[in-house]
Structure 1
Amino acid sequence: MVSCALLWSLLVISLSGTLAQNAGQLTFDLVVKDNQPDGNKMMYMAQAAPGGSLFGAMTRLSNSNHSDFTFTSSEHIDYGAYLESVNGLFGSFQDHTYWELLVQTANGIIRSSVGISCYIPQANEVVILNFTTW
């Protein structure tokens, strides 16, 4: 029979590992916006390591048991991760649609000059994944 002290120790070790994983994480809002006529908007609270990439934060959010956020990407040898789909909605060369990375700043919404593998989220900012056309 397992003693209460042993069970308590295992619980404390398990919780301390979870807390250590979240310690030092910064929080920001991730907005998924679909500009199609029947599109919608979803907002997620995401976490990133300080200096960590948006790709890492999106992966963390996608792997979370508390989120329905999903995405797919492909790796480009020179430019890093290319965002292909978010929540099951794929960009299409034929339809001229893609996922655009925007950031809401104090001066308005700007287009990021880098992609999801190079963008470094800041605490309390709003990052927007905008499904749009070209």
Structure 2
Amino acid sequence: KHTLTIIDCHIKALLYALRALSGSLSIKLSVENELSNEPLKSYSSSVVEGGVLLGALRRLHDAQHDFKFTVKEDPNFGLFLESVNGVAGNKDEKTYWEILSESSGEFNRLDVGIGCYMPKADEHIVLRYTTWSPQQ
């Protein structure tokens, strides 16, 4: 069993290295706030092929002084996007950052978070500050 675990680790490391060699994918990122009059902000970033959205956000954060974000880790559900450009979600005000993928004018909510979602080449990701309604 120990040998199998070591082999699994080596295989995962090899796959990661192959993905890194295969290059990066460009993505478009938009930040919009439904609750304010702030103009839409658009950015470009990239992610290693097979990499997750968190990597693209970190790359953008390092490259653009006007893009900032924070995440919060939930032990059961993983990483949550907590704030973007200084605006944080608030439980009492029922606000949060919704993460969408836009294609041909159609917006779809991601079914996983930034720590799991793997963007596609030239994908348009939208970070939308909005409110939620309590479930009835």
The answer, yes or no, to whether TM exceeds 0.5 is yes
Matched, 1:73 2:77: no
Map of 1:16-27 to 2, 5 A cutoff? 24-27=23-26
Runs of 5+ unmatched residues, structure 1? 1-20
Rounded to whole Å, the distance in 2 between the matches of 1:58 and 1:123 is: 15
Matched, 1:40 2:16: no
Number of aligned positions between the proteins: 113
Give the alignment's Cα RMSD to 1 decimal: 1.9
Rounded to whole Å, the distance in 2 between the matches of 1:120 and 1:77 is: 21
What is the identity, as a one-letter code, of the residue corresponding to 1:35? E
Rounded to whole Å, the distance in 1 between the matches of 2:21 and 2:40 is: 27
- The percentage of aligned residue pairs carrying the same residue is 38
Deviations 1:52-78 (A, max 9, x none): 0001110111012x4421000111223
Runs of 5+ unmatched residues, structure 2? 1-19
Match of 1:12 in 2: none
Match of 1:124 in 2: 122
Matched, 1:58 2:71: no
* Structure of higher CA gyration radius: 1
* Structure 1 outlier segments of 4+, above 3 Å: none
What is the identity, as a one-letter code, of the residue corresponding to 2:99? L
